[in-house]
Structure 1
């Protein structure tokens, strides 16, 4: 008899029953599995964040990341700053400074676009995707105190410099046409298009003016923080693992997304990775019992209450009895397959991986 598992099963019954009485039960914080001590330190770094701590979090997606690679990334950024400084940016307009940074990064640093690229690859070899290069631009803009916003579409991420002014789109995946500074003619035509299609009223245009309407409506995608952007690397890793039927790897990656920046979408995918993981297991290990507890704790209200009580009753009987008892077979833990495709940022994972396109 495994007393450790029995004790856990008995202890979890009470908090789970109490959780079902609440409208929004708090998930059980299952122990995170870190790929390295470097990753654990990076994801648990104290605030306020520094450039070094951001770099560490971005590099941590690589299992073998270490302090030497962090030092190399710091040197790489210092070299970029040296190239920018050599152009004497302090005497230039903001738009020209952004153009200078864009040209240096794309012409002298980035080499190849790949859907599944991560920040460590961008630093080491110039291989990039929309997430990794947007993170790079964000760090550079912060260094030069250039105002910026990170914009997120369902399958794409990009950066806008001077979002409260000139709205300079820095499109990370298009080195030829990726820099776009809207002029007055473009803004007027765009607002007229919105009015013609009744996406904005003529009264709004008259009241707010073309410049303000354009500012509010053009590329009006979701604005996210740099922390959220960093978490998207783990989000993509979790989504890819889920599509490749690796639910445990998916669950571990999505837990880190939730740690960095919890969101409804992440919580949903965590639940789906748990459904996959619970299919066909025997609950002979304490980790498997923890997974079951986590699955039920994430359910809203009284959903699956009866199944939870039954499953933990069977678990208790199984480990109290000298004879093996068949594992729980609640309907909620049956084999699950999500409705494809699931979209990751920078790629659409279906039967194959393809680029989602630009902003």
Structure 2
């Protein structure tokens, strides 16, 4: 899947980023993973995260609900400025552009640093999380800065039902249409795979087929979401009808076929 030179460059990049984050900010494993999905890397990201989490640690709150509401509101106010579909992770720190995936990744880092247990959910068109505390569960809807912190259990159920059956036609236009109904838990470290998947879709929308395949390969190594099974045939079809050299087309289609083959082998071994 990757050449020796490609792997060497990847390992060098990983080593450089980890070193940078260790030197210039509090070490944050999730941040180190997520930032690798972006082309733009900056050690200052860790410093910003460190300042944010310390502001919560150094303040007394009368209840966990009050603390979590403060986490939702302050994080949104300081980082999440403009909702932008398929925003890249680094844009959180540089321009304040975000989507549901990158914002959920951001909240997951803050909550992990504060010691909260939480669950991330993936649906066909959305990513969100619920936080678990002694006072109950709370839903973080990152795309709603005003009413996105939800404490009422009934309202949480209503929101989740809306995620599973979005009524807005704009929602479906922005994303790939899938032939399955997806609602499953995602481990925080697996969000890296979804971030790479988003970059693959973004490259596809920009008609950069080669880059789309590269990002899809990276995504599949980390987290083989059902999305990949739906995207591979579409990407192969577009590749074959493109103006790329025939040899390049053949190579890319073969690489896409191997993604599904490798997944089948993994399943059989398990």
Q: Same fold (TM over 0.5)?
A: yes
1:48-87 matches, cutoff 5 A: 52-65=28-41, 69=42, 71-87=43-59
Match for residue 202 of structure 2? 240
- Against the structure 1 CA distance between its residues 276 and 41, is the aligned structure 2 distance closer, same or farther, given a 3 Å change threshold? same
Q: 1:149-179: per-residue Cα shift (whole Å, max 9, x none)? A: 1112211111111189722011101110101
Question: Is contact 1:152-1:222 (8 Å) kept?
Answer: yes
Question: Is contact 2:65-2:135 (8 Å) kept?
Answer: no
Question: Is contact 2:14-2:36 (8 Å) kept?
Answer: no
- Against the structure 1 CA distance between its residues 39 and 248, is the aligned structure 2 distance closer, same or farther, given a 3 Å change threshold? farther
What's the offset of the Cα at 1:221?
3.9
Question: Is contact 1:84-1:104 (8 Å) kept?
Answer: no
Match for residue 68 of structure 2? 98
The one of 213, 222, 244 equivalent to 1:251 is 213
- In 2, the alpha carbon distance for the partners of 1:85 and 1:171 equals 23
- In 2, the alpha carbon distance for the partners of 1:292 and 1:128 equals 32
Match for residue 281 of structure 1? 245
Which residues of structure 1 form unaligned runs of 5+? 1-28, 195-219, 301-359
The alignment partner of 2:121 has SS state of: strand
- Against the structure 1 CA distance between its residues 277 and 31, is the aligned structure 2 distance closer, same or farther, given a 3 Å change threshold? farther
- In 1, the alpha carbon distance for the partners of 2:81 and 2:205 equals 28
What's the offset of the Cα at 1:121?
1.0
Match for residue 230 of structure 1? 192
What's the offset of the Cα at 1:136?
0.9
Larger radius of gyration: 1
- In 1, the alpha carbon distance for the partners of 2:192 and 2:260 equals 27
Question: Is contact 1:148-1:159 (8 Å) kept?
Answer: yes
- In 1, the alpha carbon distance for the partners of 2:58 and 2:138 equals 22
Match for residue 120 of structure 1? 90
- Against the structure 1 CA distance between its residues 182 and 221, is the aligned structure 2 distance closer, same or farther, given a 3 Å change threshold? farther
Which of structure 1's runs of 4+ aligned residues deviate more than 6 A?
A: none
Give TM-score scaled by structure 2 length: 0.70
- In 1, the alpha carbon distance for the partners of 2:256 and 2:54 equals 50
How many pairs align? 227
1:122-271 matches, cutoff 5 A: 122-162=92-132, 166-182=136-152, 186=154, 221-271=183-233
Q: Greater helix share, 1 or 2?
A: 2
What's the offset of the Cα at 1:268?
3.9
Q: 1:174-206: per-residue Cα shift (whole Å, max 9, x none)? A: 1101011015xx48xx79xx9xxxxxxxxxxxx
- In 2, the alpha carbon distance for the partners of 1:51 and 1:133 equals 20
Question: Is contact 1:110-1:126 (8 Å) kept?
Answer: yes
Q: 1:305-325: per-residue Cα shift (whole Å, max 9, x none)? A: xxxxxxxxxxxxxxxxxxxxx
Q: 1:272-328: per-residue Cα shift (whole Å, max 9, x none)? A: 323433446332xxx66644543555677xxxxxxxxxxxxxxxxxxxxxxxxxxxx
Match for residue 267 of structure 2? none
Structure scoring higher RCO (CA < 8 A, sep ≥ 6) equals 1
- Against the structure 1 CA distance between its residues 292 and 39, is the aligned structure 2 distance closer, same or farther, given a 3 Å change threshold? same
- In 1, the alpha carbon distance for the partners of 2:89 and 2:254 equals 34
The alignment partner of 1:119 has SS state of: coil
- In 2, the alpha carbon distance for the partners of 1:242 and 1:282 equals 19
Higher deviation after alignment, 260-269 or 249-258: 260-269
- In 1, the alpha carbon distance for the partners of 2:129 and 2:258 equals 37
- In 1, the alpha carbon distance for the partners of 2:251 and 2:186 equals 32
What's the offset of the Cα at 1:252?
0.7
The alignment partner of 2:143 has SS state of: coil
